[in-house]
Each structure stands twice: as C-alpha cells, then as structure tokens.
Structure 1
C-alpha cells in the first residue's frame, strides 16, 4: 500500500545516495501508515507527529538515519502512554522539505494536519 504513495520529500542536498532515497521514504511511509494518528504544525518550521503503538526504538533508529544524511533536521522522540511523539524541526530555508514530509505522512496515514 505505501509503495503507491507518490509524495517525495528528500531534498537534493540529502547526502543519502539517490538510489536509496525511495527506500528511506518508504520506511517513513510505512511507519506513518501503520502508526500516525495526528499531525500538528505549531509553526511553519515545526511538525509534531503522534504515533500510536509505534516501536520507539524503531522511530529513533529511523530518525537517526535521516539526521545523518540530512543534518538540517532536528528530531525529538518522546514516549508516553503507548504513544510516540515525534517533533521535527527544520531551519526556515528548509520549510518546503518539512511541508513535503508532512504531505507524505498525511498521504500514508490519512491523518489531518491541525495548527
């Protein structure tokens, strides 16, 4: 199911080899499809993603991999009551990348974005 999601969010500046980018995006899409329940955008350069029943270790592993190739991302992973809250931040010049990541998350999960 997630392989049909067309939203690509990897920026050209990403250090991940181009051939590996769709695999990384697919890993995030699968996470979002299976666990994302809410997306909040408290500011243009910040997204808060709430994942129900997600494996926190897997979320941390995935965001660590992403931060290693796209160092402009900041990720904060917190667990509480069976949920993982993933806060994602970017510098103002990278807001279009965050917008595309959020669009991918919404496409994969059906969650709606709230302010």
Structure 2
C-alpha cells in the first residue's frame, strides 16, 4: 500500500494523529509517513494512520517496512528467508517481492491513528 512522506519527526510537528504523543521518545533518524487511501477504513492499518519510521533500523522478520518501489513509497511486511527478505503487502497479501537492501527506506517503529475509534 502506498504511503505519503510527511517529513522528519521533530518536536513541534503538528499532525492530528500525533496529539498527545511524546515525539522525543524516538531517535533523530525517524520520519513520518501517512497511509494512503488504498488501505481502506477497516483493519489494523487504515487510511490516514501515521507511521513513525526509523531509517537507521535494520529490517528483521515480521517488521513493517517502507520501500521505494515504482517511484513511490510503499508499506510491506518483511519476512526473513535466510539472508534475504521477502516483502508481502500487509493488506491483500498478494504481490510479494524480494527486497534489495537499497530499496528499504526504514522500519516502522510506531503507529498513530488520527481518530480513536
């Protein structure tokens, strides 16, 4: 699923999903992305969720990762297979790809929901 880059995570950033969030708990290597509309409005990841991504963290088995793919950033779930990663879309689980290290842009370390349903 497509994510939209919001910018680096710095103290004072104003986004509705981050109200009440202590942004100082995250490393300086973190940035924010917002999940796009293809995520839908049900499930653990929905349209408008904001993800905190650490670009310095190494992807491990079962991590959510941000990947440069076809000139856009996309969210995948990483599965370690020996020394490589298989990336699977988290929503529909079809269309897996093998990851090259230069494709990875970071590991999701936190999720914030704009609206508390």
TM-score, reference length from structure 1: 0.28
Larger RCO, structures 1/2 (Cα 8 Å, 6+ apart): 1
Larger fraction in strand: 2
Larger radius of gyration between Structure 1 and Structure 2? 2
